[in-house]
Amino acid sequence: MGFWWLTREPGKQWQKHFCRSTEVKFFTQRENSRIREQTSSLFPRETPAKGTGSLLSAGGISEQGQTKDMNNLEEGVEFLPAMNSKKMEKRGPKRRVVVAILIIAFLLISLVTGLLVWHFKYRNAPVQKVFTGHLRVLNREFIDAYENSSSPEFIMLAKKVKSTIEDIYRSQPDIGPYHKETVITAFSEGSVIAYYLSEFIVPKYREEKLDRAMADKQSLVQRLNPRLRNPTLKVESVVAFPADPSIAQTARDNSCLFALHAKEGEITSFNTPGFPHSPYPNNARCYWALRADANSVISLTFKTLDLEQCTDSSDYVKVYDSLSPVEPHALVRLCGNYAPSYNLTFLSSQNVMLVALITNKEGRYPGFKAEFFQLPKMKACGGTLRGESGTFTTPYYPAHYPPATDCVWNIEVPSTKNVKVRFNMFFVLEPGVPVSSCTKDYVQINSTRYCGERSQFVVASSTNRIAVQFHSDRSYTDTGFSAEYLSYDSSDPCPGKFACNTGRCIEKSMRCDGWLDCVDGSDERSCTCTDQQFRCQNGWCKPKFWVCDNVNDCGDNSDELQCSCANNSFKCNNGKCIPNTQKCDGKDDCGDGSDEGTCSKAAQSTVACKSYTYKCRNGLCISKQNPECDGQKDCEDNSDEDNCNCGTRSYIKKSRIVGGQNSDVGEWPWQVSLHAKSQGHVCGASLISETWLVSAAHCFLELQGISYSDASLWTAYLGLTNQSKRNDANVQMKQIKRIISHRSFNDYTYDYDIAVIELQSPVTFSAVVQPICLPDSTHNFPVGKDLWVTGWGATVEGGSGSTILQKAEIRVINQTVCNRLLTDQLTERMMCVGVLTGGVDACQGDSGGPLVSVENSGRMFLAGVVSWGDGCAQRNKPGVYSRLTALRTWIKQQTGL
Ligand code: ARG
């Protein structure tokens, strides 16, 4: 089978025109002849025989001109006696005239020279332009031989198409004269679609006209001109798009061009050169042309993809819904490292697809492995849906929906009811399209368009019918949506519940409780506050214990206003007010060090050491808050940036897992699962070095006659996401050497709930096994900050553990407030983190696991260890975590880390 690229024909000339030196030479000659023409018309008396450039030519002429003037001057001098005053008078003006003429001549020459330089160097500079495109041949039927570029049938048709294109170009004054070469790269069904590549050499000042003419469909229409050489070939829909000229270079080197045809009922795989044993090449332009039988579409999945991290100039893979690599048909641009479980399945709209790998001059990365197969083309999408309720999704959900698709679902519920649609998952995002306009891909209901990434939302109708329309354009696709339709009683849309204005139903107890349960806040409007509530200026009611907790709960900050400190005083993190003059005076006036925290912007500003100042290895203290591993040298000895190989994940972060809070493979590479003999997963832990883990002391208590402090009872699993895939090649299983629980751990209060575990042998760091950063004991995790907790614990209170590692985003809660909520059970070694609305929390089986914070640098730090809670996920009952900063020194003592 031939490669789609190799079909250039007649091929030999092609290279010649791409060769830069040929190009330059060609123009130098033309430039010279033109200069000659022009100079001779400007200065008819003289034509330099050998001007090598405009400057020199002009120089030659000016010499001639000057000679004449000089003669005049000499004449004057010779015939003017020095003492003849009359003549002297005359001589003055004459000399001035001569000087003036000289100046004018000089200026003129400079101007002409300048103009010539500008014309030839800038305006007329040759530009190489490449366009790729396709056209439809109407009066031909596709035959298999057209897939093989060396078949006589291919060559015959290519010749005809080529000359038709040339005829079209020739009929256009803005295109014809600059056309160098056209190559037919491939054919596909429908009737026959021909893909081509055209190269132009155009003077700079004509470039825009050429672009415009090529973009103008009208100008690319085949005119029924009897003079056309191939009137037998009827073509239409000729389109061309500007392409990167490097694509033409690829035509010369075909070592990375591949053509693959799907086999009925089979999966075809392909990968980047050298995968997985050696990295893909630098400066590569690789193309895989994928085809399927007529009336089929292609489903393409990247099984693994590990490229250079994404930047504007990084290596990337692009998938096209065409055999031409043209931007308007691009489906996705991929770079970086994706976990194998990431949804990287793409559908084509026709029976062709093109995958391109473009790499720059540096980096060594494994590349990708991909699979594709053919599917019968979807007959129709959408349809009529009846009944009380049901579900529907975008085509091929959760794969990326195909481009150029339109679906309409006409939903009809029993006539006595009304209907609403709830979108549980909604990803209809197109790069660069504002969510306010939804001009490309969208869902439309009545006349409202929805696009972008949205959390669950409901659209209700006031009748028993609703029509949901879905549209995708030719480029960039996404995962799509998963929705359900429900019928409801118009007089009682939410039986036994409260109806949000958006149509969503929430528990009645959630109305006026101070929490926004309806996305539009309709559950918190027109409320009368109870005596346990505080009335915000915007009318909302919030629990009184939220007042003055340093978090803007009202939204208008009114819950934090009354407690702000007087004008010339400073508000400490713990809420205390101190006079401004005490701020940054080197004394901890707040009691929590917050008045001395950020005193100097300058890095390396050394201050007196306090319990709240970061101490460098050289013993000097700096005033910067959280300086560890932030990418900036703050300590003179750079010790704040030492041992920073931690807290990063290899895979591209994504919070877009279809199906809730499952974690992705490699998303939390420090997460450890501790299995107790014959019990399976019991507790979590965090990897902090090759041999040490941090966990909770209460995991290793003596219980029901079993001594959990016995190291031999345990096995640690690292690199694990799915408990049922413990045999996976990336998972590392380790025996435990010793468990050190904090001596002050109190199994009644759970104070000092921390333990460190030493592994029998070191782990190997990998894409799925990485340590988390330990914070300095002065590290600040401020109230209100979002943290992540992960584990395989129960997903509902009293429920069973989860197979897939779960994650939840929760917020740091003010210690005083939390102590009130949890009836004074907190110690300084504990911190409350949760969502007070309830519903998000750690639970049984998560214990010992990590609570991590994403710092500004992007690095993640261990903020806490899952310790205890009053039930799970209940309202106003946040989870309690061992506070890492309070236990940091102990960890250092035990592990040396
Ligand atoms: N003690 C529990 C365990 O052993 C962890 C409880 C955390 N509870 C909570 N609501 N945050 O797994």
Tokens linked to 639: 């010790």
Compute how many other C-beta atoms are within 10 angstroms of the C-beta atom of residue 196: 22
Q: pLDDT tens for residues 491-517?
A: 888 888 998 887 788 888 888 877 777
Catalytic site residue from 188, 847, 853, 867: 847
This prediction has a pTM of 0.68
Q: Using a 6 Å cutoff on CB, does residue 842 contact ligand 1?
A: yes
Mean residue pLDDT of the chain comes to 82
Which residue among the candidates 698, 779, 853, 867 is catalytic per the annotation? 698
Is the peptide bond between 398 and the residue preceding it cis, with omega within 30 degrees of 0?
yes
Q: How far is C-alpha 733 from the chain's CA centre?
A: 34
> What percent of the chain stands above pLDDT 70?
84
Which amino acid residue places its CA nearest to atom 1 of ligand 1? 868
Give yes or no for residue 801 CB within 6 A of ligand 1: no
From 753, 776, 841, 846, the catalytic residue: 753
* More confident position, 490 or 828: 828
User: Confidence band (pLDDT; 50, 70, 90) for 640?
Assistant: very high
Angle between the 20-42 and 11-18 helix axes, to the nearest 10 degrees? 60
Q: How far is the CA of 805 from the centre of ligand 1 (A)?
A: 15
Q: Say how many C-beta atoms besides its own lie within 10 A of residue 101's C-beta.
A: 14
Residues 824, 870: contact at Cβ < 8 Å? no
- 544-548, 741-745, 762-766: least confidently modelled range: 544-548
Give CB contacts under 8 A, 24+ apart, made by 16-21.
17/180, 17/181, 17/199, 17/201, 18/128, 18/199, 18/248, 18/249, 18/251, 18/252
From the CB of 65, is ligand 1 less than 6 Å away?
A: no
CA of 390 to the centre of ligand 1 (A): 37
CA 875 to ligand 1 center in whole angstroms: 15
Position 478 scores a pLDDT of 94
| C-beta pairs of 91-100 under 8 Å, 24+ apart in sequence | 98/69, 98/72, 98/73
Residue 338: what pLDDT?
Answer: 84
Nearest ligand 1 atom, CA 877 = 10
Tell me the C-alpha distance between 150 and 686, whole Å: 59
Dist. CA 692 → ligand 1 center (Å)? 22
Order of strands, sheet of 405-412, starting from the edge strand that comes earlier in the sequence: 382-386, 405-412, 465-472, 442-445, 448-450
Half-sphere exposure of 754 (CA within 13 A, CB side): 27
Question: Does ligand 1 come within 6 angstroms of the Cβ of 846?
Answer: yes
Coil, strand, or helix at residue 328? helix
Confirm whether 847 is a catalytic residue: yes
Q: Does ligand 1 lie within 6 Å of residue 841's CB atom?
A: yes
Which atom of ligand 1 lies at the shortest distance from residue 879's CA?
A: 11
Distance between CA atoms of 297 and 715, rounded to whole angstroms? 47
Q: Is 864 in the pocket of ligand 1 (CB under 6 A)?
A: no
Q: Give pLDDT tens digits for 209-218.
A: 898 888 887 7
Question: Which pair of tokens denotes residue 646?
Answer: 């931690």
- pLDDT above 90 covers a percentage of the chain that reads 43
Ligand 1 atom having least distance to the Cα of 841: 11
Question: 279: Cβ below 6 Å to ligand 1?
Answer: no
Question: What is the best residue among 867, 877, 881, 882 to mutate for testing ligand 1's pocket, by most ligand atoms within 8 Å of CB?
Answer: 867
- CA 344–ligand 1 middle distance (angstroms): 35
pLDDT tens digits, one per residue of 271-324: 999 998 999 999 888 999 999 998 899 999 999 899 998 888 899 999 999 988
CA angle, residues 267, 273, 278, in degrees to nearest 5:
115
Report helix, strand or coil for 451. coil
773 Cα–ligand 1 center, Å: 23
Residue 584 exposure: Cα atoms within 13 Å on the Cβ side: 10
Cβ atoms of 22 and 29 within 8 Å: the answer is no
